[in-house]
């Protein structure tokens, strides 16, 4: 189904070593294909291996999460591990092959693709010629796979669509939040309500056909799927509106996320919330210091700056970017679904 990723050849490896690596990748995927969270993580770590490996002189084994990815695809083969640790092109080739095999086995999902693309678009990597080439190839790879997934929906029988979802979609205009019908809400409130309703009805398990039905529900209450919203501003609106935040999270408190790079939206939401609660003294101290030096800045702006710095340091992204409404919904769904598992799977 997928287009081909053919950026790296890894000529340093023999054909036998490439075959061994391929078998190991197949084995890893096969052992985790029933675990959605493990597959999600494998995709993110493969993308990271292609885009975050600084140079041939920097051993990838020191890069925390990537060291687990390396161990997962090399097993006990120390020679392959050493080759990936010490040679950037070999690591990128291994990641490329992993993504290709995942696509060929139809293990990429529309919400996962949206989350990965949003992170790629917000990446803080140096935009040199080599990275642009890798970035463009990855964006095309994920876009083409998403198109194929959505085309596949056309071959599904209507009876396969969930009855509850169809009922919800047909009555979406009559739904209410905070005493207002969905059609009368602002765009971000509509997005949050749609996301949470869909998540609860599907119980975190959905098909591509279901997601396209969700897109139809967006249009019904006048949210244009391709209309752009600012990623950061949208998360801020949710974080600073308790009713909206509770709606999205189902009233459940979420804990600090250990690896923000895999859950960018949720990490931003948690950090903004922390700036108003347990980190409030830090925000107050900064505000007081600025006032003493005759600089007045709204505390929300300080929270925003701290959040941006946190995501830049921990996830290597700047989410002050515009994204499509439908992609934002998919991103929120992905983050909700992964976050309901207390911890991301470790290979």
Cα–Cα nearest to 274, from 304, 244, 298, 247:
304
Rounded Cα distance, 29 and 11, in Å = 24
283-322: pLDDT as tens digits: 999 999 999 999 888 999 999 999 999 999 988 899 999 9
Per-residue pLDDT averaged across 15-31, rounded? 89
Q: What is the pLDDT of residue 60?
A: 55
Contact 318, 308 (CB under 8 A): yes
pLDDT of 74 > 80? The answer is no
- Three-state SS annotation for 247-285: HHHCCCCCCCCCCHHHCHHHHHHHHHHHHCCCCHHHHHH
Contact 222, 214 (CB under 8 A): no
Rounded Cα distance, 37 and 326, in Å = 22
- Which residue do the tokens 């990623």 mark? 231
Q: What is the pLDDT of residue 126?
A: 56
Q: Exposed e or buried b for every residue in 10-49, given b needs 16+ CB within 10 A? A: beebeeebbebbbebbeebbeebeeebbbbbbbbbbbbbb
pLDDT of 15 > 50? The answer is yes
Per-residue pLDDT averaged across 259-281, rounded? 92
> Among the ranges 18-32, 126-140, 323-337, which has the highest mean pLDDT value?
323-337
Residue 73 — pLDDT band, cuts 50, 70, 90? confident
Q: What is the pLDDT of residue 343?
A: 47
Task: Look up residue 125 and give its DSSP letter.
Answer: S
How is residue 334 written in tokens? 């992905």
Terminal Cα-to-Cα distance of the chain (whole angstroms) = 26
Q: What is the pLDDT of residue 199?
A: 95
Q: What is the pLDDT of residue 128?
A: 64
How is residue 202 written in tokens? 């599907």
Dihedral sign from CA coordinates of 69, 71, 74, 80: positive
Long-range contacts of 145-149 (CB under 8 A, 24+ apart): 145/1, 145/2, 145/3, 145/103, 145/108, 145/113, 146/108, 146/110, 146/113, 146/114, 148/1, 148/2, 149/1, 149/106, 149/108, 149/109, 149/110, 149/113, 149/208
Q: What is the pLDDT of residue 248?
A: 96
3 state DSSP class of 229: strand
Which positions ≥6 away from 205 have C-beta within 8 Å? none
Per-residue pLDDT averaged across 82-92, rounded? 77
Q: Which residue has the higher pLDDT, 265 or 20?
A: 265
Domain boundaries, the chain: 15-153
Global pTM value: 0.82
pLDDT of 38 > 70? The answer is yes
Q: What is the pLDDT of residue 79?
A: 78
Rounded Cα distance, 93 and 89, in Å = 6
pLDDT of 345 > 50? The answer is no
Per-residue pLDDT averaged across 96-125, rounded? 88
Strands 228-230 and 322-324: antiparallel
Per-residue pLDDT averaged across 110-126, rounded? 84
In this structure, the chain runs to a length of: 347
Contact 115, 133 (CB under 8 A): no
Residue 160 — pLDDT band, cuts 50, 70, 90? very low
Q: What is the pLDDT of residue 300?
A: 92
Percent of the chain's residues with pLDDT above 70: 87
- Give whole-number Cα distances, 161 to 60, 154, 164, 273, in Å: 44, 12, 9, 37
Q: Average pLDDT, whole number, for the chain?
A: 84
Q: What is the pLDDT of residue 65?
A: 58
Contact 32, 25 (CB under 8 A): no
Q: Which run of H or of E encompasses 142?
A: helix 129-153
Per-residue pLDDT averaged across 253-266, rounded? 84
Q: What is the pLDDT of residue 158?
A: 42
203-246: pLDDT as tens digits: 888 888 889 899 999 999 999 999 999 999 999 999 999 999 99
Q: What is the pLDDT of residue 57?
A: 39
Residue 159 — pLDDT band, cuts 50, 70, 90? very low
pLDDT of 116 > 60? The answer is yes
Q: Which residue has the higher pLDDT, 248 or 49?
A: 248
Q: What is the pLDDT of residue 178?
A: 94
């Amino acid at each position: 189904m997928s287009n081909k990723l053919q950026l790296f050849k890894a000529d340093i490896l023999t054909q036998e070593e490439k075959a061994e690596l391929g078998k190991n990748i197949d084995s890893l995927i096969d052992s985790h294909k029933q675990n959605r969270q493990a597959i999600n993580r494998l995709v993110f770590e493969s993308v990271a291996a292609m885009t975050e490996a600084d140079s041939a002189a920097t051993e990838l084994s020191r890069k925390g999460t990537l060291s687990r990815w390396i161990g997962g695809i090399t097993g006990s083969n120390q020679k392959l591990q050493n080759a990936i640790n010490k040679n950037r092109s070999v690591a990128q080739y291994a990641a490329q092959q992993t993504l290709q095999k995942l696509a060929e086995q139809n293990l990429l999902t529309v919400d996962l693709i949206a989350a990965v693309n949003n992170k790629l678009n917000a990446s803080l990597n140096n935009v040199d010629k080599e990275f642009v080439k890798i970035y463009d190839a990855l964006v095309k790879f994920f876009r083409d796979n998403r198109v194929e997934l959505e085309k596949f929906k056309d071959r599904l029988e209507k009876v396969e669509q969930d009855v509850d979802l169809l009922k919800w979609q047909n009555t979406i205009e009559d739904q209410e939040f905070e005493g207002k019908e969905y059609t009368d809400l602002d765009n971000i409130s509509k997005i949050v309500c749609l996301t949470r309703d869909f998540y609860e009805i599907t119980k975190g398990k959905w098909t591509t056909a279901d997601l396209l039905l969700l897109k139809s529900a967006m249009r019904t209450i006048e949210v244009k799927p391709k209309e752009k919203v600012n990623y950061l501003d949208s998360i801020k609106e949710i974080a600073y509106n308790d009713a909206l935040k509770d709606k999205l999270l189902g009233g459940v408190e979420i804990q600090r996320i250990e690896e923000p790079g895999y859950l960018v939206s949720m990490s931003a939401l948690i950090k903004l919330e922390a700036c108003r609660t347990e980190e409030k003294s830090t925000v107050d101290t900064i505000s007081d210091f600025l006032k003493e030096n005759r600089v007045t800045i709204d505390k929300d702006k300080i929270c925003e700056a701290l959040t941006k710095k946190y995501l830049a340091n921990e996830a290597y992204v700047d989410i002050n970017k515009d994204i499509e409404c439908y992609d934002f919904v998919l991103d929120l769904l992905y983050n909700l679904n992964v976050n309901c598992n207390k911890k991301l799977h470790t290979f």
